[in-house]
Amino acid sequence: MLAHSMLQPKTAYLTAISAWYGAFGMQSVVFAWLVTMVLREPAERVGLAQMSLLLPGMLLILIAGVLADRIGQRRQAAWSQLFAGLMPLFLALAVYVQALSFAVMIGYALLMGCASAFLTPARDGLLNHVAGADVQRAVIQASLCQFGFQILGYSFAGLADTLGAEIILVVQSLVLLLGVWAYMQLREVTPRVASEGAQEDVLTSLLDGARTVISNPLMRTVMLQNMAMGCFFMGAFIVGFPLVMREVFAGSSADLALLNALNSLGLVVSILALLKLGFVARAGRALVMAQGLGSIVLLTTGLVSNQPLFMFLVFVWGVCGGIAMPMSRTLMQQLAPPAQRARVMSFYAFSFMGAGPIGTLFCGYLADLFGPQQAIVISAFGMLLVLVLISLSSPLWGSKLEQVQPQAG
């Protein structure tokens, strides 16, 4: 898969996603800090700002998946990350010239959301081409890079009060550009639709991918739980938690960074355990159990007023997520037909990113009405209800994966 490359395929891929998620960690802290603690926006507008990061994904990611299958996944991933790498420089300039405003933050969020929408299905589609025989292990390794480098990003961004947002944003840009270089080390995978001479239009390709997902009961269920996670968990995490840190604990950028880092540390702990454990055949059962426990832990975070206990619960919530997310992604990767993998993974990402804007607005309005902790409790109850319905009415609990050699894309 490489032609005169400095890196092996999997190493190049893991370097690229590490760069993206390290930069994402910086953005998560700095964006929330600028909107919540520098601009001091009310809860409803915090929800609107976070929604703006996710809204382009809801609108564009399905088309982006079709395009990735057509024009090439590596090419689309590299160009998307290049675009994303330029955006923090413009935000840094706005901060430097003291032109920061809520409108500037919304504009930045929408542009970064567009980059993420086009990057995500292309990046996810590439995974099988570098995975080798064990897709589940490759997914877990990718997840380890994701959350490990997020911790580094969070930790560095926690210095925003000391260094200033401009420095953090410039470093974020440089890290993203490193990821572009890593993608360029991969040779383009010949798009299956092109190699087979298929000339479907975009709508036909989308409908074909939708039929594939809808016709598979297991895929449908994974999509439903992913949608619920995007709605209830995402809203609580990127709207509820920062508001709790501001209004309950009077926190700083360092506190926001610590909160995010502890969550990712929990994710890393469980991912390392999965690597040691090896192949998990009952991935669906592990997914439901982890999400159920995570919902209970999230509910508890909305009931405590002690900051160290709150932080510990965020860590435990991360442990649950570190089991659930790789299992969910593994199920979709192994069930997706090779010729439609980017499209199927775009539907998978859409189920999360499409629900995310709804969840952030929902949590923001709830926090305005009842307070941020009460909004978190309501979100946790919503997730628990979905999981009960899934367990009673779908094949996810009893499903079993086979550890087989994946087909080449």
What does the domain layout of the chain look like in residue ranges?
9-186+201-393
Residue 82: its pLDDT value, please? 97
Residue 408: its pLDDT value, please? 39
Q: What is the pLDDT of residues 31-62, one digit of tens each?
A: 989 998 899 898 889 889 988 998 888 888 88
pLDDT classification of 407: cutoffs 50, 70, 90: very low
Residue 140: its pLDDT value, please? 78
pLDDT classification of 81: cutoffs 50, 70, 90: very high
Q: What is residue 291's DSSP assignment?
A: H
Q: What is the mean pLDDT of the chain?
A: 86
Q: What is the pLDDT of residues 132-172, one digit of tens each?
A: 666 767 877 888 888 889 889 989 998 988 899 999 999 99
Residue 384: its pLDDT value, please? 94
Q: What is the mean pLDDT of residues 389-399?
A: 77
Residue 191: its pLDDT value, please? 58
What are the φ and ψ backbone dihedral angles of 159, each rounded to 5 degrees?
Answer: -90, 10
Residues contacting residue 104 through CB under 8 Å, at least 6 positions apart: 91, 94
Residue 5: its pLDDT value, please? 59
Topology (CATH level 3) of domain 9-186+201-393: Growth Hormone; Chain: A; (1.20.1250)
pLDDT classification of 107: cutoffs 50, 70, 90: very high
Q: Is 133 helix (H, G, I), strand (E, B) or coil?
A: coil
Higher pLDDT, 381 or 137: 381
To the nearest 10°, report the CA torsion of 359, 361, 367, 370.
-90
Q: Helices 283-301 and 217-228 meet at what angle, rounded to 10?
A: 10
**Burial group, residue 218, by CB count within 10 angstroms (0-12, 13-18, 19+):** middle
Higher pLDDT, 282 or 36: 36
| pLDDT over 70 (residue 403) | no
Q: Is 99 helix (H, G, I), strand (E, B) or coil?
A: coil
Check: CB of residue 67 under 8 Å from CB of residue 79: no
What percent of the chain clears pLDDT 90, i.e. is strictly above it? 42
pLDDT classification of 72: cutoffs 50, 70, 90: confident
Higher pLDDT, 326 or 30: 30
**Cα R_g (the chain), whole angstroms:** 20
